[in-house]
Structure 1
Amino acid sequence: MASSVTPWWKALKIRQEIISASGQIDDVQMSLFQAVHGLGADKPLYADAAYYGEITHPTERLTDLLTEVAVRIGGGPDYIKARSVTRLDQGMGGGKSHACIGAFHLAAHPEALFSTELGQRIAARAKAKVGHDLPTDLNRPHVVVLPCDHMTPGAPVQEIDGPAVNLYERFLWRLFSKDYSLFERYQPFWSDKSKIAEAIKAVNRPILIIVDEVLDYIGNGLDGANKPDLVAQDVAFLRALLDVVNDVPQVAMLVVMIASDRDKTALSVGAQARRDDLNSLLERNGTPATVTEVGDFADILRRRLFDAEPAAEVLAATAAMYRPVLDDKSWTKNVWGVAGSDWRARWDEQVAACYPFHPMLMAIAKEEWSKVTGFQRVRSTIRIFAATVYAQQRRGKAGEWVPALIGPGDLPLSDSAVREALLGSGLVEDDRTISNYRSLAEIEVVNNDGTAGTARRQDIERQSLSWTDANPRAAERAATFVFLASIVGTLRPGRGRGASAPEVKAATNVPDISYTVTDADTVIEDLINPDRGMSAVEIIPGQGNNKPARYFLSTRLTHRMLVNNIRRTITEAERDRVIAEFTQRLASSGPFRDLKFIKAEPERTAADVLATAGLDTAYTSRLIVLDPAQYSLRNGMEEATIVALTIATGLGKGTQQLPVQWASSAIYAIVNTQRRALARGVAVEYLARQKALAAPEVQNDDELKATGTKELASAKEQLEKALKRAYQHVAYLAQPDPDGERYLDQLTFDDEHSSALDGTIVWKALAERDKVFDAGQFGPRALLHNLRDSDYGRTLSDIRAAFYAAPRLPLLYGGDRDLQQAIYDAVAAGLVDVVDGAGSVVAVTAPNQVNLASAGLRLAKPKPKTCPTCGKPAHKGTCETGAEGETGTGTGTGTGQTGGGGDSKPVPPAVICASCGKPTHEGTCQVPPTVTERQIAFSFTRNLLANPDEADNFAALFKTLYMALDERKISYLQGTLQLVVDAGTTDDLQQWLGELGINSTIKEI
């Protein structure tokens, strides 16, 4: 808003009673009973005639009604120029009680009322009607008020009704100002017209009779009395009174009874008959009248809400502010020209008439709200607008943004007074629908503290743009207008259901050219977006420029609405649990011999979880999938994961160093931090749809069930795809240089089709890094290439272990089978020998004959071939010892006996079977190899306080271990123990651990 223009909340002063009531204007529903009989705190401000005149705008119809009353009771002989009986038949909230109170003040306090603008207009119009001024005291008229909505048939109130019981007696008691003698004189004549006329004349003053809400008395009220005599007397009296009033000079009567076509009150058969009878009498004797029309709204509101008119220069400056956007070609073409903005043609005039409300909002109140049958036109509008100006003024005083003119998007639904005034106005009649729209207002538009609601969140989270300061509540304003258009339902005349796109854009407009039509389009597109917009919005597609799209907030349950409501209830724990379930199901081992999933434990550190997860499995290639809830890489959030992996692979230092033996054969699959965030969002969507489908309201609705099933299948597919893409990283222990340091290496998949959850893909990627051998790559030559000189002479068990424990050696695709085959092929090719402890060559007749568990057999480099005659390196030609021919092929050095021909021939040495240890033989050995050692691995977690029997069992277990150690039957130990013991035992354990050179960590608990 331009600084040179005074904002409306400074230019206008809200009436004190509205401020005192925090915008919830208490006396908007005026009560004739309280105005006449109220005492002390119950006496309203409008009981004062001067105040009543101050807050009442002198509409034409109200002025005309009160002029008729003034002439009838104060016009002297000219009383015949005014009607005697007037019936106010407007619906609820149409100003009937307001008019009755005005008539009461006119007769009871004429001088005070005539001093106001309303009274002056009445006096001027009466003079024009009779040709002379009326007396300022109107000849001291007497007022008889029968507030039937505060009278119970047959149950009088002593302070007000005295001895009166029926309606006639109550009339007399008020007519005679509690004169008991006159009351008794006319008491018996409840249906005698002449006696009733005589009683009225006996007062010897002009008389005004006001009967308010008569149907409340003669309808179901008389039924409840259950007194047939009383019913007969009261009906007879009313019939007689309506006839008498026409015949007695200077008597006027106002009767309030809503027309039957506007009154939805359910009546009994008897009550219905009485209403029909009274209707007939009023049609015959009275003239129907209304006191307001829609054209009076703006004037009535300003008079009722503010205590002074705005300055002309403020009106002019405010109107001028909007000129640039009203004349803008883009706004004109896409909004003003399509939205039916008739007020734009007379903009300055409209601003002056509607200020501080935008002409668009006032047009909606006049042309749409007033057409709704249940809407209490004047009363409801005052309540809504009073709460609105109060809430907006508070924002202005707090330094928040306030619109230059209050438009249809500026009714702050975060304010409970505004929201309840709207919902209780009659625009929505069904209690269930009211409750539903109350929820929609909070969920879709803005909540009570203004921090949430779909639209409000979009405004709060929007990045700063050139127009955000000028229009910081754009989405909320658009959603508010859609809400207003929705609660009216299908009753928008000539406009159809809901709000059209141009209307919504218009509702977001501000007098600032930085906010363009394109910006308005973006705001609305975000608001109706199926993923991030309002879930309850129904979109009616447009059909060209003449039929733009329309938006409607529906209270009918839709699958999208249900999903969005459920989405907000899903916890992080539920989300992480479903991600873990999907991850385990999607993960595949491929060539890896084992697949492990390490579940997150939020109460423990990532390092502690890995350190105690039992990952160090011997002789097994493992793909270890880490739970995304606790582990991820990249985006600056990977420190805890890197520390955990460092410790788990045995690379930790000091107290974080674990005795890990088989770390080289463990490959870790880890999620990417950024992609994890995307997968989490998809997981929430999946869970929301899963729960929605299980909801009874969906299961019982075939259409919703079909939609839910389809969307759940799609959400499942999306979650699987998101998780596969999220697992982008692989970590492993590496040592490409056999003489270099070990370190934690990483592999990242950059394409969308590779995932660390797929063991086959991971294996092939590691093969490219020389961390593993792929299928068919490991043969005898590869075996010799990866063996160092120091490996010759090592047992087969050690060689086997090295391929799982030493990161310098790649993992084998077929594991032990590949190693057995490679050794067999190498032996067969003469590239390597298998020897026993004495160095004797052991025969290998088949791959499965290679006993990789043997601690006695070793690999050895093959010995050079020798001459069987001389025992020297093999040579060609005649041996120097005299024997001719090529050297033999034996590998032994001994000689045998000569044969029958006298020639000496070599006798090959004995060759031992690698399986049974006996001299070599043909075919597969039938004796299984002797097993000298086995590996045993186990892990446990027990609470021994609650189970003493298990404590005994563990004591026996450790005693067996002790005996095995004492008898030197254990050749290798590796493990981690966590114990909770008493303090003294801890000291003893720490002493022995120190003797062994083992670091320990002690923590007080």
Structure 2
Amino acid sequence: MTKSGVTPWWKALRIRPEILNASGSIADVQMSLYHAVYGTGDQRPLYADASYYGEITHPTGSLTDLLAQIAIRLGGGSDYAKVPYALLRLDQGMGGGKSHACIGAYHLGSAPSSLAKTDIGKAIFKQAETILGRALPKDLDNPHVVVLPCDNMTPGVTVQEHDGPAKSLYERFLWRLFEGDYSRYDAYREHFSNLSKISEAITSLGRPVLIIVDEIMNYFGNGLDGVGDETLIAQDQAFMRALLDAVTKTPHTAMLAVMIASEKDSISLTAEGTRRRVDLERLLDRNGKPLGVHENEDFAAILRRRIFLKPPKQEVVDATIRDFKEAMENGQWKTKVFDAIREPWTSKFADEVTRTYPFHPQLMHMAEHEWANRAGFQKVRSTIKVFAATVYELQQRGKSGGWAPHLIGPGDLPLSSNQVREAIIGSGLISDPKSQNNYRSLAQNDIVGLQDTSGTARLMDIARAADDRALWHHSNPRAAERAATAVFMASIVSGRSQGRRGATDAEVKAATAVGDPAYMFADADTVISDLTDPETGLVSIEVTPGQKGQPIRYFLSTEQTLLMLQRAMRDTITDAERDAAIADFAEDLADTGPFDRKQFVRASTDGQSPRDVLAGAGIDDARVSRLVVLDPAQFTLRNGADRATRGAVQAAVGLGDDKLPTRWASSVVFVIANTQQRHAARRVATHYLAAERVLSYPETQTDPDMKSKATAERNDAKRSLEAHVKRAFQHVLFLAQPDDEATRSVDEVTFDAKTETALLGTTVWKALVEKGKAFDQGTFTARALIHNLRESDYGRPLDELRDSFWNTPRLPLLHGGQDDLRQALFDAVQHGLLRIVDSEDQEVAVTGVSEINLSSQRLRLGKPLPPAVDDAPTHEPDNEQQPEPSPGPSGEAEQDQDDSSADTPAPPKEKQLGFSITQSMLNNTGNADALSQLFRELYQLVDGNDVSFLQGQIQVVVNAHAVDKLTERVQQLGSSVIVRDL
């Protein structure tokens, strides 16, 4: 017990002996599946034992769920298919717990009974029982485990004790599957690409099989390029394709594959390596389910179990909480420090300390919400290294009579320890090597030296102790070092919340707090004042005054160049920020064109499926042509990962088993990004956001040269992002039905030209015109209207006819909307092609376009009346020649006043002609002459204005030298041309 009555954590908790023996270093924190399976002697780690693995493994929800699914696939008997995915993929970046999960899967398959006795094992079997509704056998029906540690395999080079005679990856798989049974190995050896044979080989064991393939790209990336054996390369690729398909079709089989997602993998690949990665990702996306094994909130529980033998007693934790809360809930400590921080841990302090003890919630919040979001930070692995080294160093201080905090906060990471400092520097929090060196020197000179007797901040504390004037010195002897260390930790995580850098005044003071009431708010103010003193304080500290409601901030600067600053900022951009920027640009760039309305549908932020997002987007709008742009964060096409997007669009237009209720699906057009182009846009979006943040930094704003360069960089990045977003939107989906008999389906338009984008409504509309889904401007004439009417349309009310152009897929969309329809109806009435009638079939006079009320249910569409016929008997003409009429006074022949021709109907002014042509011109001059004459006649009709409407499609095979001129003529008409080589 201390004077405050609180038992310090370094007495209440026992550090694991392997950490003590290694002086705070965890040698096996970077776990190896290869060493767990094949290690011997000194190369066999402790976690190769299932019981020890269970001791150090916290049963996080995601890890438990992953292993429970594997357990059901293996030991679930006839219910194995209740877990639909046999293939599970771990795709998170380095240090995210993938190897730890693979080793857990290995122990589950190879020693299930032993693992079942541990906490993680109990959680796995309980979760499996919840899913199945019954318990699994503890031996999981005696599965066999095949491990392919691709990070410890060289293509084409065998290791005798593991591979026997095997050379290819398939042969190595068989040798491990059959455990060295040569005859069975030889029987299947030739079938490397045969899906059914691979499945048969697995099934032939007569027991469940677990396949673990670790770090696939270590083998299939640049590794295969160096083998120099094209046959082996082809066989290995073919085998992996077949295996990924086979496991999904083989009962009682599970496969765990590790392949970092391409956007999280910094490995540089050759062109062939990149192609192989794309191919494998497509297969993994098609057959498997990606899973994570740790959430950021799991850090505290993982750390406690990994570092300490047993959890603390609750009374120790409660006493520590009371000690701190006395200061937190009083006076200026409360109002100006803890209330000002406004993070969840301050309002839930007791609960958070219970969760994070012996680590301060302030430090754990930083690790979970700031460190873990850094692109280069290796999450669990890096955190364990830093915290284990810290715990060991502070425990040694406490045992030797030195001071150690009751809760380890962001100011208590002992930078005087080379192990702690290097764990932080090398954790990935500082990505740039030059910045790493700069911060290493900064820590030693400005904060504390390696001997714990130098460094500006440390010397301030030593001087205070010698002076012995501070009443609180004995309870907080490292106050200046703690404040400087807190600023250091906040400074290396560049661009924290909302892109701000460094620590706030309240955060730094909170990092110095102790339970001793003698250490008051004013004392913390003095400590910070000393650190920021321009003459005697930290050389590297920069102070940003609080303005417009923003707090004072402190930052340790290494005088980064613009390029280094931009690179550091890119690491601070989260996936959500990047995708939001792309969405904002897409929404701004989208242009309505001839469409009545554009709508941007944002991706879900709460886990909704694409279908549910569209269901709630309100896109089913009456009598409005809609250009609906879908957020690429959730909706993309191609690259083998678009099933959810296509299914959602299909449901939104009223198709499929889970279709949505819709009435106006025919008049909505969906604009969707390409998956591969989205990857490119995301990279550029990250660069743009980083450039924006750099430009907003005070040091950039106060340096004219840097500001000019940063502005130019930001502008270039903005133009590049606009171009990439436009290019990304290549696809258009819409509801189609060519005729009444055809089945409704979703049709697609893809813009392959770099200059085209689906974000422009005019471009999309022209593509729909070519597809027959829309009319171009001015082409919906009276003749076009009559052509698109069906017999059932006559007698329909005008409001139903109007609606059909927005809800009937066979009818094209109208460029001018209802105005086009109203004008076409008027022109048709004027030309006698149809009538407007009332409900009694009485014709209604129409003298102007505005008189056609498209909203009327009383007015209907009527056919034109037949020509009037004379009731007088008709006579057959005889063969006698009639006398010519005599000329009249004007010299022209006079007509008999009784001539009955005045009563006969006038011949029609126009007739519709339709024909098709399919002719071979090779060695057939007759066909060529006849076809030439036909086109001459058509030319004369067009030239003489005798053609009022022309519609059709021509496909012609011509000599290559004639294509360019013909193409130019067609394009002059505003039509597109498709040219293919034959």
Give the corresponding residue for 2:539.
Answer: 535
Give the corresponding residue for 2:791.
Answer: none
- Are 1:507 and 2:511 matched, yes or no? yes
Residue number among 461, 465, 471 corresponding to 1:466 in the alignment:
471
Report how far residue 430 of structure 1 moved: 1.4
Could you report, residue by residue, the CA deviation over 1:763-785 in whole angstroms, capped at 9, with x for unpaired residues? xxxxxxxxxxxxxxxxxxxxxxx
Report how far residue 226 of structure 1 moved: 2.4
SS at the partner of 1:389?
helix
8 Å CA contact 1:9, 1:396 repeated in 2: yes
Could you report, residue by residue, the CA deviation over 1:114-139 in whole angstroms, capped at 9, with x for unpaired residues? 00111111111111211221111111
> Whole-Å Cα distance in 2 between the matches of residues 57 and 42 of structure 1?
24
Give the corresponding residue for 2:194.
Answer: 192
Give the corresponding residue for 1:484.
Answer: 489
Give the corresponding residue for 1:393.
Answer: 395
Report how far residue 551 of structure 1 moved: 1.2
Amino-acid identity (%): 56
8 Å CA contact 2:4, 2:323 repeated in 1: no
Give the corresponding residue for 2:87.
Answer: 85
> Whole-Å Cα distance in 1 between the matches of residues 704 and 299 of structure 2?
48
Give the corresponding residue for 1:786.
Answer: none
8 Å CA contact 2:54, 2:118 repeated in 1: yes
Report how far residue 349 of structure 1 moved: 1.0
Report how far residue 557 of structure 1 moved: 7.0
> Whole-Å Cα distance in 2 between the matches of residues 703 and 371 of structure 1?
31
Give the corresponding residue for 2:773.
Answer: none
> Whole-Å Cα distance in 1 between the matches of residues 229 and 67 of structure 2?
37
SS at the partner of 2:206?
coil
Report how far residue 431 of structure 1 moved: 1.3
Report how far residue 195 of structure 1 moved: 1.3
8 Å CA contact 2:482, 2:511 repeated in 1: yes
> Whole-Å Cα distance in 1 between the matches of residues 222 and 542 of structure 2?
43
Could you report, residue by residue, the CA deviation over 1:850-896 in whole angstroms, capped at 9, with x for unpaired residues? xxxxxxxxxxxxxxxxxxxxxxxxxxxxxxxxxxxxxxxxxxxxxxx
Give the corresponding residue for 1:208.
Answer: 210
Give the corresponding residue for 1:555.
Answer: 558
Give the corresponding residue for 2:530.
Answer: 526
8 Å CA contact 2:6, 2:316 repeated in 1: yes
Gap runs ≥5 in structure 2 = 562-702, 707-982
Give the corresponding residue for 1:37.
Answer: 38
Give the corresponding residue for 2:939.
Answer: none
Instruction: Say if 1:386 and 1:140 are closer, same or farther in 2 by CA, change over 3 A.
Output: same
SS at the partner of 2:497?
coil
Report how far residue 227 of structure 1 moved: 2.0
8 Å CA contact 2:56, 2:305 repeated in 1: yes
Give the corresponding residue for 1:770.
Answer: none
Give the corresponding residue for 2:904.
Answer: none
8 Å CA contact 2:444, 2:455 repeated in 1: yes
Report how far residue 154 of structure 1 moved: 1.0
SS at the partner of 2:348?
helix
SS at the partner of 1:253?
strand
Report how far residue 279 of structure 1 moved: 0.3
> Whole-Å Cα distance in 2 between the matches of residues 123 and 337 of structure 1?
44
Report how far residue 4 of structure 1 moved: 2.2
8 Å CA contact 1:2, 1:321 repeated in 2: no
Could you report, residue by residue, the CA deviation over 1:202-231 in whole angstroms, capped at 9, with x for unpaired residues? 211100000000011000111121222221
> Whole-Å Cα distance in 2 between the matches of residues 219 and 256 of structure 1?
13
> Whole-Å Cα distance in 1 between the matches of residues 309 and 544 of structure 2?
44
Identify which range, 499-508 or 103-112, moves more after superposition.
Answer: 499-508
Give the corresponding residue for 2:172.
Answer: 170
Identify which range, 241-250 or 152-161, moves more after superposition.
Answer: 152-161
RMSD: 1.5
Identify which range, 352-361 or 529-538, moves more after superposition.
Answer: 529-538
1:338-353 matches, cutoff 5 A: 338-353=340-355
1:31-430 matches, cutoff 5 A: 31-82=32-83, 83-430=85-432
Report how far residue 703 of structure 1 moved: 9.7
Report how far residue 341 of structure 1 moved: 3.7
Report how far residue 197 of structure 1 moved: 1.1
> Whole-Å Cα distance in 2 between the matches of residues 272 and 495 of structure 1?
33
1:579-594 matches, cutoff 5 A: none
User: What is the identity, as a one-letter code, of the residue corresponding to 1:527?
Assistant: L
User: What is the identity, as a one-letter code, of the residue corresponding to 1:19?
Assistant: L
SS at the partner of 1:87?
strand
Could you report, residue by residue, the CA deviation over 1:382-433 in whole angstroms, capped at 9, with x for unpaired residues? 1110000000000000100110100000000001111111111111111111
SS at the partner of 2:290?
strand
> Whole-Å Cα distance in 1 between the matches of residues 20 and 4 of structure 2?
26
Could you report, residue by residue, the CA deviation over 1:334-353 in whole angstroms, capped at 9, with x for unpaired residues? 11121224212112111110
Give the corresponding residue for 2:9.
Answer: 8
SS at the partner of 1:25?
coil
Report how far residue 517 of structure 1 moved: 1.2
> Whole-Å Cα distance in 1 between the matches of residues 557 and 159 of structure 2?
49
TM-score of the two chains, using structure 2 as the length reference: 0.56
Could you report, residue by residue, the CA deviation over 1:172-204 in whole angstroms, capped at 9, with x for unpaired residues? 110010111111111111111111111111211
Instruction: Say if 1:703 and 1:142 are closer, same or farther in 2 by CA, change over 3 A.
Output: closer
User: What is the identity, as a one-letter code, of the residue corresponding to 1:476?
Assistant: E
Runs ≥4 in structure 1, deviation > 4 angstroms?
701-704
> Whole-Å Cα distance in 1 between the matches of residues 705 and 269 of structure 2?
41
Report how far residue 495 of structure 1 moved: 6.5
> Whole-Å Cα distance in 2 between the matches of residues 186 and 103 of structure 1?
26
Could you report, residue by residue, the CA deviation over 1:480-499 in whole angstroms, capped at 9, with x for unpaired residues? 01111111111x12361111
User: What is the identity, as a one-letter code, of the residue corresponding to 2:550?
Assistant: K
SS at the partner of 1:371?
coil
1:901-916 matches, cutoff 5 A: none
Could you report, residue by residue, the CA deviation over 1:935-989 in whole angstroms, capped at 9, with x for unpaired residues? xxxxxxxxxxxxxxxxxxxxxxxxxxxxxxxxxxxxxxxxxxxxxxxxxxxxxxx
Could you report, residue by residue, the CA deviation over 1:802-837 in whole angstroms, capped at 9, with x for unpaired residues? xxxxxxxxxxxxxxxxxxxxxxxxxxxxxxxxxxxx
> Whole-Å Cα distance in 2 between the matches of residues 552 and 340 of structure 1?
20
8 Å CA contact 1:32, 1:97 repeated in 2: yes
> Whole-Å Cα distance in 2 between the matches of residues 255 and 380 of structure 1?
23
> Whole-Å Cα distance in 2 between the matches of residues 316 and 535 of structure 1?
40
Instruction: Say if 1:359 and 1:133 are closer, same or farther in 2 by CA, change over 3 A.
Output: same
> Whole-Å Cα distance in 2 between the matches of residues 12 and 512 of structure 1?
23
> Whole-Å Cα distance in 1 between the matches of residues 453 and 293 of structure 2?
43
> Whole-Å Cα distance in 2 between the matches of residues 236 and 493 of structure 1?
47
Could you report, residue by residue, the CA deviation over 1:131-177 in whole angstroms, capped at 9, with x for unpaired residues? 22111111110000000011111112112111111110110110010
Report how far residue 702 of structure 1 moved: 12
Gap runs ≥5 in structure 1 = 559-700, 705-1005
SS at the partner of 2:498?
coil
8 Å CA contact 2:339, 2:346 repeated in 1: no
SS at the partner of 2:226?
helix
8 Å CA contact 1:411, 1:418 repeated in 2: yes
SS at the partner of 1:309?
coil
Instruction: Say if 1:294 and 1:702 are closer, same or farther in 2 by CA, change over 3 A.
Output: closer
Could you report, residue by residue, the CA deviation over 1:628-670 in whole angstroms, capped at 9, with x for unpaired residues? xxxxxxxxxxxxxxxxxxxxxxxxxxxxxxxxxxxxxxxxxxx
> Whole-Å Cα distance in 2 between the matches of residues 341 and 519 of structure 1?
23
Instruction: Say if 1:125 and 1:557 are closer, same or farther in 2 by CA, change over 3 A.
Output: closer
SS at the partner of 2:554?
strand
Give the corresponding residue for 2:597.
Answer: none
Give the corresponding residue for 1:972.
Answer: none
Could you report, residue by residue, the CA deviation over 1:721-774 in whole angstroms, capped at 9, with x for unpaired residues? xxxxxxxxxxxxxxxxxxxxxxxxxxxxxxxxxxxxxxxxxxxxxxxxxxxxxx
